[in-house]
Every structure is written in C-alpha cells, then in structure tokens.
C-alpha cells in the first residue's frame, strides 16, 4: 500500500498558507494521490466548536485555558482525522499544527515554549509531520495583505505588531531547531515559485 504523508503549513496570518495548500493539493491529485485538506483549529466537528471559542469568544481567555483548548482540538483532530487518513495511505495537507501553539501561545502569550510543545505531544501521542513548510513573512507585509482582503479580524489577527514579530521569531527558531522537518520559504516570493519549491521537497518524500 502507498505510504501516507503528512505535510503541515505554518506562518503568520496572511503568509499565503491557504494558497499553497490548494496548489499542493491540485498537484498531488493530478498524480493520483488521495488528499485530505484540513486545519487547526477546527479540522473536526468537535474542533469547529473549539475554534469558535478560541477565535471568536469576546473577552479574555486565560492563557493556560487557551493553550489547553488548542491542545484539545489537536488531540481529537489527530486521533479522528489525521491518523486514520495516514493509515489509509493518503496525503494530509494541514493548515497549522503544534508549531503554531508554540509560536502563538508560547512566544506570544508568555507561556513556556517547551511546556506548550510537550502538552501538544502528550495530546497527540507524539505525532509529528513528515514535512512542515514555514512561509516566513515580515508582519508589516502580512498586515498589508490582510488589510487588502477586507475581512473582519479575529482575536489574534488584531493583536499588536510586536506580538506578530515575536511569533515570527518563534517560528524561525523552531525551524532552526528541527531543520530536517522544516522547509523555510520567503513568503514574499511569487506563489508559483513557492509552490515549485514545496513540490520539489514533497516529491522526495512520496
Ligand atoms: P487560521 O485558521 O490560520 O486563521 P484564518 O482562518 O482566520 O486565516 O488560524 C487561526 C488563528 O489561530 C491564527 O491567528 C493562529 C491561531 N492559533 C494559535 O494561536 N494556536 C494554535 O495552536 C493554532 C493552531 C492556531
């Protein structure tokens, strides 16, 4: 049976993860692979309820509660969506995973990054993707893209610029500490070029 493959996309809001996920999916489908496109938070039915709390609740959520909500979403998602798809030999393309928790809750929310990572690994019984694509972008440029989009901001998107700088730094540090799992790309490059670089890396893993 064909081996399953798990690819996650990370980066700040507005870095182009959705575009790249769509282009990768199209390419894989054309090669005859079955693809599951999913995301965190909200990749399962339970997850969609959690997503609604973490992104749309008005007012504060205690940092540890927020971290646990993301971890709960992740635990259920990996157990009921990701692992079954990989066991069927499918390709899972996922918008955000535990690196987002480390970057946003760890660096951004002044919780301990190592604890956040361990919490997620406990939640998922140690599940790590085969490849994580980090779309790295200057937060000021991301801001311009989001403004041009004209969508209402969710809780995290409306955080201060300095918060997004910390998140960016945390993602880059994560990538540096696990160079085998990460592919870091400059998200300011044209979408087609980025897609080509991602395909090149995925081709090796298939
Ligand atoms: P995303 O789905 O990319 O937002 P949108 O659909 O609006 O583009 O991500 C939602 C937000 O959740 C994003 O700002 C980052 C945040 N997030 C965390 O803080 N921790 C996490 O563990 C995850 C997965 C996301």
- The torsion angle over the Cα atoms of residues 155, 159, 164 and 170, rounded to 10 degrees, is -60
Give the pLDDT confidence score for residue 106 in this predicted structure. 86
- Return the residue whose CA atom lies nearest to atom 19 of ligand 1: 104
Contact 186, 18 (CB under 8 A): no
Q: Is the pTM of this model over 0.75?
A: yes
| Coil, helix or strand at residue 35 | strand
Instruction: Give residue 40 CA to ligand 1 midpoint distance, Å.
Output: 7
| Site of tokens 């399962």 | 44
| Ligand 1 pocket, residue 101 CB under 6 Å | yes
Cα-to-centroid distance, 95 and ligand 1 (Å): 9
CA angle 160, 163, 167 (to 5 degrees): 145
pLDDT at 159: 64
Residue among 9, 11, 13 to mutate when testing ligand 1 (max atoms within 8 A of CB): 13
Instruction: Give the model's pLDDT for residue 57.
Output: 93
Q: Is the CB of 156 under 6 A from ligand 1?
A: yes
User: Within 10 Å of residue 32's Cβ, how many Cβ atoms?
Assistant: 7
Tokens describing residue 198: 């991602």
Ligand 1 centre from 113 Cα, in Å? 17
Among the listed residues 141, 67, 65, the one whose alpha carbon sits nearest the alpha carbon of residue 104: 67
Ligand 1 centroid distance, CA of 181 (Å): 21
Q: CA–CA separation, 42 vs 148, rounded Å?
A: 25
- Among 176, 39, 169, 187, CA closest to 108: 169
Atom of ligand 1 nearest to the CA of 70: 22
The CA distances from residue 125 to 14, 117, 118, 128, 171, in Å, are: 30, 12, 10, 9, 22
Give the pLDDT confidence score for residue 158 in this predicted structure: 62
DSSP state of 158: T
**pLDDT confidence of residue 147:** 82
Question: Encoding tokens for residue 152?
Answer: 């209402």
**In the chain, which stretches have pLDDT less than 50?**
none
For a pocket test of ligand 1, which of 41, 81, 152 has the largest count of ligand atoms closer than 8 A to its C-beta? 41
The answer to whether 32 and 90 have CB atoms below 8 angstroms apart is: no
Query: Residue 7: in which H helix or E strand, if any?
Result: strand 5-10
Q: Is 96 in the pocket of ligand 1 (CB under 6 A)?
A: yes
For the beta sheet containing 131-136, the strands, ordered from the edge strand earlier in sequence to the opposite edge, are 35-39, 91-95, 5-10, 131-136, 182-186
Could you tell me if the CB of 104 is within 6 A of ligand 1? yes
User: pLDDT tens for residues 68-125?
Assistant: 999 999 999 999 999 999 999 999 999 999 999 999 998 766 799 999 999 999 999 9
**Distance of CA 1 from the midpoint of ligand 1 (Å):** 34
Alpha-carbon gap, residue 167 to 97, rounded angstroms:
14
Q: Is residue 94 a contact partner of residue 6, using CB atoms and an 8 Å limit? A: yes
């Amino acid at each position: 049976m064909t081996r399953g493959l798990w690819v996650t996309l990370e980066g700040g809001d507005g870095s182009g993860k959705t575009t790249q996920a769509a282009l990768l999916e199209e390419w894989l489908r054309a090669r005859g692979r079955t693809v599951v496109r999913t995301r965190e938070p909200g990749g399962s039915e339970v997850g969609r309820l959690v997503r609604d709390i973490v992104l749309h609740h008005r007012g504060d959520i205690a940092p540890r509660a927020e971290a646990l909500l993301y971890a709960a979403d992740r635990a259920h998602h990996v157990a009921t969506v990701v692992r079954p798809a990989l066991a069927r030999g499918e390709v899972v393309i996922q918008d955000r995973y535990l690196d987002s928790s480390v970057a946003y809750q760890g660096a951004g929310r002044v919780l301990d990054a190592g604890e956040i990572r361990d919490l997620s690994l406990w939640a998922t019984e140690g599940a790590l993707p085969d490849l994580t694509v980090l779309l790295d972008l200057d937060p000021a440029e991301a801001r311009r893209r989001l403004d041009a989009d004209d969508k209402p901001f969710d809780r995290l998107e409306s955080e201060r610029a300095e918060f997004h700088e910390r998140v960016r730094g945390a993602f880059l540090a994560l990538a540096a500490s696990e160079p085998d799992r990460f592919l870091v790309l400059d998200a300011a490059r044209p979408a087609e070029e980025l897609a080509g670089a991602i395909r090149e890396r995925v081709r090796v893993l298939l």
